Amino acid sequence: MANYNRNFWIIPMIRFFIAILLLITLQSVTLFAQSKTTVEYYGALRATIQQADISANADLSEFKERENLYALGAFENLKGEILILDGESFSTQAINDEVQFIDPFEEKANLLVTARVESWEAIDLPGDIQTMEDLQNVIEETADRHGLDIDQPFPFIIEGEFGEIEWHVLDWPEGDNEHTHQKHRTSGPNGVLESQSAKILGFWSDSHHGVFTHHSTNLHMHFVTEDETLAGHLDGLANGEGLTLYLPN
C-alpha cells in the first residue's frame, strides 16, 4: 500500500514538471522568434526638426558585417539617404546636384532604423491602392491578419509598379538651422517618377511619431527603382498595381 501511495503522487508530479518545462520552452521559442525582427533606431526626427540636431547618432561601419540587415535613414548632417536591403546598399547622396550611389559603411548616420530579417512572407495586395493612406491601411490590416503584433514596430517590403513615386534625396545646406518637413523634401534632388517599378523598404509604427515616422503617418519608407538607377526617400505614391507585400516570417 505504501508503494502504491508513493506512485500515486510521484506520477502527477512528474507530469506537472514536464508541463512546466514545455511551457518554458515554448515561451523561449516565442521570444526568440520576436527578437529576430526587433526594430532598433538611432536618433530621432524631433531632435532634427525642433533642435536642429543633425549630428551623428550611429557609426555605420559597425553594421557592415551584420547578416540579414535591413535599414534606412539619413546620413550625418543630412547629406543623403540610407537604404540597405539584406546587407546590400542602395544609399545615395547628392554630388554636384546629381544623385549618386555611395558606400554607407564608411559614413555615419543622423537617423537610422534597422532590423534583421531571415525570411519574408510574400502577400499579394489588392489592386486598388491609390494613395499613401490606402497603403498604410492595407499594411496594418494585412499585418494584423497574418499574426504580427501591430502594437510593435516592424519592417516590410513592397514590390510592384506605381503610377507615381514622389521622392527626394537630402542635401541640407550647411548652417541652416531652420528645419521643417517641407524643407527636408526640397533641400536636395527631388521629383516625381511616373509608371515606375520599384522595391520599397519601410518601417511601420503607430507609436514612434517624431522618432522615425513623421506625425502624420505610421510609415517611413525608402525605395530603389527596379533598374537600380535611383534610390531615395519616398514622400508619396499613387496608383499601385500588381503589388506584393513582404512581412517578416
Q: Please write the tens of the pLDDT for every residue from 83-136.
A: 999 999 999 999 998 999 999 999 999 999 999 999 999 999 987 789 999 999
C-alpha cell at 98: 546629381
Least confident of 7-11, 51-55, 207-211, 217-221: 7-11
pLDDT at 26 over 80: no
In the chain, what are the domain boundaries?
1-35, 40-248
- β pairing state of 219-225 and 190-204: antiparallel
Q: Which fold has domain 40-248?
A: 60s Ribosomal Protein L30; Chain: A; (3.30.1330)
Q: How many CB atoms lie within 10 A of CB 166?
A: 17
Contact in structure between 125 and 243 (CB atoms under 8 Å):
yes
Closest CA to 117 of 187, 33, 234: 33
How confident is the model at residue 24, as a pLDDT?
40
Q: What is the largest CA-CA distance in the chain?
A: 93
Which pLDDT value is given to residue 5? 53
Secondary-structure percent of the chain, ordered helix, strand, coil, rounded to 5: 30, 40, 30
Question: Who contacts 92 (Cβ-Cβ below 8 Å, separation ≥6)?
Answer: 80, 81, 83, 99, 100, 101, 102, 169, 230, 231, 232
Instruction: Give the integer Cα–Cα distance in Å for 131 and 138.
Output: 11
d(CA 176, CA 199): 32
Average pLDDT over residues 207-222: 94
200 pLDDT more than 90: yes
pTM for the full predicted model? 0.84
The SS3 of residue 217 is coil
Burial tier of 222 (Cβ tally within 10 Å: 0-12, 13-18, 19+): buried
Answer yes or no: are the C-beta atoms of 244 and 238 closer than 8 Å: no
pLDDT tens-place string over residues 180-197: 989 999 999 999 999 999
Give the residue among 139, 121, 160 at the shortest CA–CA distance from 239. Answer: 160
In whole angstroms, give the CA distance from residue 218 to residue 234: 13
pLDDT band at 28 (very low <50, low <70, confident <90, very high): very low
Which pLDDT value is given to residue 111? 98
Confidence of residue 15 (pLDDT cuts 50, 70, 90): low
Sign of CA dihedral 151, 231, 226, 118: negative
Whole-angstrom distance, CA of residue 73 vs CA of residue 81: 6
Number of other residues whose CB lies within 10 A of the CB of residue 49: 18
